[in-house]
Chain A
Amino acid sequence: MSKQIAGNLGNNPIKSGITAGFPIFIGYFPAAMAFGLIANNIDLTLYESMLFSMVLFAGASQFFALNLIASGAAVYEIVIGIILVNLRHILMSASLSRRTTAKSIGARLMIAFGNTDEVFATASSSEGPIETPYLAALEATAWTGWVTGTVTGFIGGSILPSGLQQSIGITLYGMFAALLVHNVQKEYWYIPVAAAAAGLNTILGRVIHMQPGWAFAVSMILASLIGAALLPKVSESFREAENEF
């Protein structure tokens, strides 16, 4: 991540926010295309897919949602799963809230909305206090990539040849496998955590026959507790939050 001055040296902060957000736009667009493609494949409508991306705006958890919807999990199970996956944003917002210049309630409510993993990483890599117009422009750029990618992927999914349509069921798992590889590349000790969750979910769902949503939530929490208890450190991306007390 390049060191950028957060628009606080008299430059136009909106312009520098858009510039800093552009790499996120480029990264989000194809990921959101994959989301739109899969959403289409499990028979969500275009408007449902768009609404997901416009208001939830939380990458991985939207893919989790599609998986649980496709598996027929109950609404409350799906909602609990998504909220658990997104709890980590507390760490990122806690860190961001100490760097931001936003004083008014309205400004805080606004910049909190777009605080995704990538926005946080980019904003945190800048020097000094983070101006609200800069952060808002950064978030808006990322958000635009996510939403337009979703629509593009959804429409693209409709025009695929029917032979390919059949094999699209695999895309969701391809996405999970790719996300896991990217996480493990950052921290190798994530491997036993993921393996523990996979093993627990298989046992709870297949052997004990727990409801799929509950098996998922319980195995995720247990594996995370094991990981938190046994594994070495808080990672690079959260280090700032760790260092400041």
Chain B
Amino acid sequence: MSFDIFAIILFSTAGTYFSRVIPFFAGFLDRLPIFFKRFLQVMPVAALGALLFPGLLTDFSHAPAAGLVGAAAAAVTALFTKNLIFPVLASILAAYLML
């Protein structure tokens, strides 16, 4: 196991577990300001936006259309199923056909 990967797993697990466990011992955390709650709630969505762009365009600079079509295929498939494997398979298939 690479040391870097091990360090990533160790520290991110510690930080994530901290978020999950601290409210069980610190009662004041259920009275957070509403602004802070909204901030925490939208954070994963903001992360998804930042993860899609510009990576989707730059990672496939040799075939940008394949990247876009693959992601679009996944997005459309996701409209019809909550299951994540079908969008993933759709994106592989679409990218395969474009490459």
Contact = CB atoms under 8 A, between A and B. Distances in A.
B7 A75 contact: yes
A20 interface: no
A223 B50 CA distance: 9
Nearest to B75: A177
Contacts of A244: 30
Given A97-B30, A198-B49, A51 B9 contact: yes
Main SS at interface, chain A: helix
Contacts of A200: 50
B85 A216 contact: no
Interface string B24-40: 11010111101111111
B1 A90 contact: no
Interface in B34-62: 34-56, 58-60
A38 to B, nearest CB: 8
Contact of A195 (B37, B49, B75): B49
Given A58-B16, A182-B82, A44 B5 contact: yes
B85 A34 contact: yes
Contacts of B9: 48, 51-52, 55-56
Given A31-B84, A48-B5, A180-B48, A202 B37 contact: no
B91 A219 contact: no
Contacts of A55: 9, 13
A33 B83 contact: no
B50 to A, nearest CB: 4
Given A61-B12, A173-B91, A241 B37 contact: yes
Interface residues of A, number: 105
A238 B30 contact: no
Given A48-B2, A190-B42, A112 B20 contact: yes
A115 B1 contact: no
Most buried by A among B34, B66, B92, B96: B92
A112 B49 contact: no
A183 B44 contact: yes
Given A56-B12, A83-B19, A181 B78 contact: yes
A88 B74 contact: no
Nearest to A186: B45
A97 B22 CA distance: 10
Contact of B46 (A91, A179, A196): A196
Contacts of B42: 190, 193, 223-224, 227-228, 231
Interface stretch (A1-9, A65-73, A123-131): A65-73
Contact of A34 (B31, B41, B70, B88): B88
Given A90-B23, A175-B88, 13 more contacts: A27-B82, A58-B16, A67-B55, A164-B92, A167-B92, A176-B51, A196-B49, A198-B53, A201-B54, A219-B50, A228-B39, A234-B41, A245-B30
